[in-house]
Structure 1
Amino acid sequence: MLDLGKCHERRSAIVARELARYDIDVAALSETRISAATQFEERGAGYTFFCQGHPAGEVRTGGMGFAIRSTLLKSVHEVPYGISPRLMRMQLNLEGGHTATLISCYAPTLGATFEEKSLFYEQLGDAVRSTPHSHQLFVLGDFNARVGKDHILWPKVLGRNGVGRENSNGTMLLVFCTEHNLVVTNTVFQQADRKKTSWKHPRSEHWHLIDYILIRQRDLRLARLTKAVRASTMWSDHRLIKMSVFLIVKPVRRPHKTVRKAKLDVTRLTEPRFSGVKNKCFPSDYSYLYNL
């Protein structure tokens, strides 16, 4: 996950270069500040961007999306589309007839109203509930929430390797995960705190964990590692959260238009003009032999 809000010009080119450097296949983007629904490609790095923001003419705040390795587009079962300026969804076709559903999120900040936060989780809940139970679900994004490390109070939702203290936004996220049987993969793996925290507070300059990758608890075995990595370009106060997961994508079979082939009408060979013809060429008007 990457925060695009503080990039220079051609920020998508910078992001694409970073994704290629870390060998990322699909990235959830937050704070893109791009209006409406937008799709474009950074051919040099080989990524295609799908973004969703507020309608054109409104203030360019927030916004989110996906960056997908262009070679993977043939395996995209459902093209990324915006549910709201804070939510976007896509699907990947997998081997064995399976499907992976990914939801990119940008949650309201701690200072937002309760109504804004409730609306976000209501829409996110609808997106999760509408995802078939057989799909492998990944919810990625900037949740602006601190979930803490109390794995005893939040069993199966938090692992034993959380960081920091829980705040009110974190409580809302933890309740949501409990209701939908999701696990915060950032808290599962044992590693240094610098590989867990993702955002630096502008005043205290302390690092906190507010960006997450959530999956169904039953699919935790698919996750190999979730960690924070520092980008080489220091234009963002967020770190990239990278998750290594074992999935094999498969190109989607697109329906092909059936072309009706003309059939040879052999019954016409009995007509007088063809009678007694042996080892001779047929008339040059071959179309006469077909039902066109």
Structure 2
Amino acid sequence: MLVQIKAHPINLIQIYAPTSDHSDEEIEDFYADLENLTRNLKKHEINIIMDDFNAKVGKRRVPGVAGDFGLGQRNERGDRLIEYCQEHDLIITNTMFKLHPRRLYTWTAPGDREGQVIRNQIDYILTNRRFRNATYGVKTYPSADAATDHSILVANLKVKLRSQKKQYRPPTLDVAKLRDPQIKDKFNRVALSGQKTTNSKNGKAPGLDGIPIELLEALDGSNLKNFTKILNKIYQQGNIPEEWLKSVFIPIPKKNNPS
């Protein structure tokens, strides 16, 4: 199950992996379904995959994936989970914090009793590796009143979300159409800026504004008055467009070999 929170880039994915009674083919089908579900998620978003993986990761550390504080010994299903996390830059958060074992195990077997403790860590909370420092703690609450043999697993995350500014890309202009006298005349009637640049060469790369030199050459002197009004208004208000404050310097060596 995938829940997407549109207000912020957070994706919550709840899963349930096949138990050890199922075949390896069914396990691979599970990871294939998970792959299809997460394929279109973006890496800069917070992706959280959680619930019952029916796998034991154990105490053995895996750099960038699992910490030193898992529980028990790793099994084959745990190896498969580690492999999936490595492929998708995920960390297993509830192996990163040193806690008492009762805060680590997530499942109690039906045969568990005094003198014969059968408790394992098979539920996990995975998240992007880049948000490792946003996880402040993960632990279970075995005494919670819930009708299940699993313990409630809780993670504390604190994320500072930054607004993503979309980079402006000027539209591509088909300047060849200006060769048509009717189009050129219409363009000069509606244009609001620019002046004649008869001493400039065609075919030059446009600047940061994306306006090719051919477009400016098509303007006539009648637009200079409108252009002046715009500049005076900007000067009086003091609001200079950010694009006007940028410059690009490209060093061009005189020789073919700049070294």
TM-score range, shorter chain: 0.5 to 0.7
Please list the CA deviations of residues 173-202 of structure 1 after superposition, one character each: whole Å capped at 9, or x if unmatched: 111111111100000011111101110122
Taking structure 1 as reference, are residues 234 and 218 closer, same or farther at Cα in structure 2, changes over 3 Å only?
A: closer
Output the CA distance in 2 between the equivalents of 1:171 and 1:245: 26
Amino-acid identity (%):
32
Letter in 1 for 2:145: T
Runs (4 or more) in structure 1 with deviation over 3 Å come to: none
User: Which residue of 2 is the match for residue 181 of structure 1?
Assistant: 89
Output the CA distance in 2 between the equivalents of 1:103 and 1:220: 18
- Tell me by how many angstroms 1:231 deviates: 4.4
Q: 109, 125, 128: which one pairs with 1:201?
A: 109
Q: 235, 239, 244: which one pairs with 2:156?
A: 244
Q: 137, 141, 153: which one pairs with 2:47?
A: 137
- Tell me by how many angstroms 1:130 deviates: 1.6
Q: Comparing both structures, which one devotes a greater share of its residues to helix? A: 2
Output the CA distance in 1 between the equivalents of 2:143 and 2:14: 20
Output the CA distance in 2 between the equivalents of 1:132 and 1:236: 34
- Tell me by how many angstroms 1:126 deviates: 2.1
Q: Map 1:155-194 onto structure 2 (within 5 A).
A: 155-194=63-102
Does the 8 Å contact 2:52/2:123 carry over to 1? yes
Q: TM-score, normalised by structure 1?
A: 0.51
Q: TM-score, normalised by structure 2?
A: 0.57
Q: 81, 84, 89: which one pairs with 2:2?
A: 89
Higher relative contact order, chain-length normalized (CA < 8 Å, sep 6+): 1
Q: Map 1:72-151 onto structure 2 (within 5 A).
A: 88-94=1-7, 98-151=8-61
Output the CA distance in 2 between the equivalents of 1:233 and 1:133: 36
Please list the CA deviations of residues 205-225 of structure 1 after superposition, one character each: whole Å capped at 9, or x if unmatched: 421100000001111111111
Output the CA distance in 2 between the equivalents of 1:124 and 1:183: 16
Output the CA distance in 2 between the equivalents of 1:214 and 1:156: 12
Letter in 1 for 2:60: D
| Unmatched tracts of structure 2, length 5 or more | 162-259
User: Which residue of 1 is the match for residue 235 of structure 2?
Assistant: none
Please list the CA deviations of residues 13-46 of structure 1 after superposition, one character each: whole Å capped at 9, or x if unmatched: xxxxxxxxxxxxxxxxxxxxxxxxxxxxxxxxxx
User: Which residue of 1 is the match for residue 145 of structure 2?
Assistant: 233
Please list the CA deviations of residues 235-291 of structure 1 after superposition, one character each: whole Å capped at 9, or x if unmatched: 321100001111479xxxxxxxxxxxxxxxxxxxxxxxxxxxxxxxxxxxxxxxxxx
Please list the CA deviations of residues 108-148 of structure 1 after superposition, one character each: whole Å capped at 9, or x if unmatched: 00110112111100111222222112211100110111001
Aligned pair count reads: 157
Q: Comparing both structures, which one devotes a greater share of its residues to strand? A: 1
**What SS class does the counterpart of residue 11 from structure 2 fall into?**
strand
**What SS class does the counterpart of residue 41 from structure 2 fall into?**
coil
Output the CA distance in 1 between the equivalents of 2:86 and 2:110: 31
- Tell me by how many angstroms 1:90 deviates: 1.0
**What SS class does the counterpart of residue 241 from structure 1 fall into?**
strand
Please list the CA deviations of residues 73-109 of structure 1 after superposition, one character each: whole Å capped at 9, or x if unmatched: xxxxxxxxxxxxxxx0011135xxx400111000000
Rg larger in structure: 2
Letter in 2 for 1:222: A
